[in-house]
Chains A and B, each alone.
Chain A
Amino acid sequence: MNSKVLKVHPDDNVIVALTDLKSGEVIHYQEQQYKILLDIPAKHKFSTKNLEVGDPVYMYGVVVGEALQVMSKGEPITINNVKHDTQEIHPNTEQYDWVKPAVELWKERTFMGYHRKDGKVGTANYWIIAPLVFCENRNIEVIRESMLRQLGYPDIKSQAIDIEPLITAYQKGVDIQALHLTRIGISKKDRVSQMLMA
């Protein structure tokens, strides 16, 4: 691609800036020329033609808005010149024909999963401990405290930051600036056990 802009669908009347565009720049794209009328930041869109008030705005091949003001080719769309609009919904009457992607290379691929008795396959093997009601949350937390670490499961507690340096600095009576500059981080002991478990 390596282009500065992108028209997502052939029916679209807006084009996306993939990078910041400058006012006055001329963009050459799909055998058309677009003079950019204002600075347009990346991710924003500009009109591909002059639009009248009430004209539909197309993107992704569908109506995504309606022009609130007269707009010129190359002008960015904003909340001031476009409002939300869509095509009216009607029941489906046409057949949907789908072009499947080529999947030959994936047909023989497998993943190593947990085969369950009902024929489904899991990508993990969790045991759930859950409450039927919020009254039991505290007990769940106690069970979590009691079991996770001792069984060697990764636990958020091992990511806790060691704040001892902050406490020490505070007790020494340092000022706020110095407190900001104090270095704290995951405790060495936990870093080691994290590395062992990973």
Chain B
Amino acid sequence: MTHHLGCGGTRKDAKDLCELIAGYITNPNVAGATILGLGCQNAEQKMLEEAIARRDPYGTKPVFFHEQQQSSSEEQFIEEVIKSTFIGLSIANKNNRSPAPLSKLVIGLECGGSDGFSGISANPALGFASDVVNSLGGSTILAEFPELNGIEQELIHRCENNLLSRRFFDLMEAYSKRAEMLGSGFEANPSPGNIKDGLITDAMKSAGAAKKGGNAPIVDVLDYTEPVTKQGLNLLCTPGGDVESTTALAGSGANMIVFTTGLGTPTGNAISPVVKVSSNTSLYLRMRDIIDVDAGLIITGQATIEGIGEEILEYIIRVASGETKTKAQLLSQDDFIPWKRDLSL
């Protein structure tokens, strides 16, 4: 993985990067890590070590640190990193798959390239699957806060206690105020592409987007990089941008991501398999190489929301078991974009 952060910014952004990387390393999909630092960067090795320790106090994951400013040449440095990575792989190779209940699933819920059908077919189907996973003791994560603008009341109603609804409201407010300060509030009219596709108001788009979260009560509200610790539906503060939000979902512990789309997008994630669900059959037929499941059958009346929800669950089980690779995995879409919240300095 590569990225554009780690220095030249605020301390907060350096800390967020370390928290995100710690979240990746302690994600159950990861066997271990080799971390390369320069030496003088803001995102110091000890900041990352501390973030890992908070999540993994017994140090169960092997992590090898290398610092270039302590080496004699780039070639020598790279050789050291390759050798320790090779050793890491030999350790990781000892891990094997064995049966696990569905309550061990942590599903990130995502939508991108939405159209006027997303909120009617793919999102409700995913919402049904999310409700099933939550009923079985698993966890699901709903993120993309700017895309929830207008549907806050329903989500507040579903929060298990007032502390959670207060936290959700505060995170949305803080984010919204920042956006307005920069001249681009949440209520900015839907894009020309959205409007052409029948998403006339932002609230209409948000109400459709929130359908991915099903009907389950909300058990926790997390800020960016905070890990999922409670079973049930969690809210996670992330931007609406596809890759920043999927990156954040994996960083908070998602071991699988399901991504609905109406217009089509190829993106995936470096460590968490991304399952693509089309809202309409025409997309599924036209872009077979990037879509896994078709929810468009709900629109034509050939399938029900529950039926497609169950199909999504079956697909999740196959991918989780290593029997099937998602289209994004087959195309090596190892996308990784950390959210930079502050400015460059």
Contacts and interface: CB of A to CB of B under 8 A. Distances in A.
Given A92-B156, A132-B6, A132-B41, A64 B150 contact: yes
Nearest to A84: B201
Interface stretch (A31-39, A135-143, A167-175): A135-143
Contacts of A156: 332
B271 interface: yes
B85 A147 contact: yes
A39 to B, nearest CB: 13
Contacts of B77: 139
Nearest to A156: B332
Interface in A68-118: 77-79, 82-87, 89-92, 94, 96, 98-101, 103, 106-107, 109-118
B15 interface: no
A96 B158 contact: yes
Contact of B82 (A3, A103, A146): A146
Contacts of B166: 91
A65 B201 contact: yes
A179 interface: no
Contacts, number: 310
Nearest to A16: B120
A84 B149 CA distance: 11
Given A43-B197, A110-B100, A143-B82, A59 B204 contact: yes
Contacts of B203: 62-65, 84-86
Nearest to B8: A134
A43 B116 CA distance: 5
Interface residues of A, number: 82
A136 B88 contact: no
A84 B101 CA distance: 43
Contacts of A126: 29-31, 270-271
A113 B197 contact: no
Contacts of B256: 123
A55 B56 CA distance: 54
B24 A89 contact: no
Nearest to B7: A133
Which of A117, A118, A151 is the most central at the interface, judged by chain B CB atoms within 10 Å of its CB?
A118
Interface in B98-122: 98-102, 104-105, 115-117, 119-120
B192 to A, nearest CB: 10
B207 A122 contact: no
15 contacts: A1-B298, A57-B201, A60-B204, A60-B207, A62-B154, A84-B203, A89-B156, A100-B131, A112-B322, A113-B321, A131-B2, A132-B38, A135-B41, A142-B78, A159-B332
Given A112-B99, A118-B26, 5 more contacts: A45-B198, A57-B201, A101-B128, A113-B28, A121-B104
Interface of A: 1-3, 6, 8, 16, 18, 41-45, 57, 59-60, 62-65, 77-79, 82-87, 89-92, 94, 96, 98-101, 103, 106-107, 109-118, 120-137, 139-143, 146-147, 151, 154-156, 159, 198
- Nearest 7 Cβ contacts at the A-B interface: A43-B116, A133-B6, A43-B198, A2-B301, A122-B28, A1-B301, A133-B41
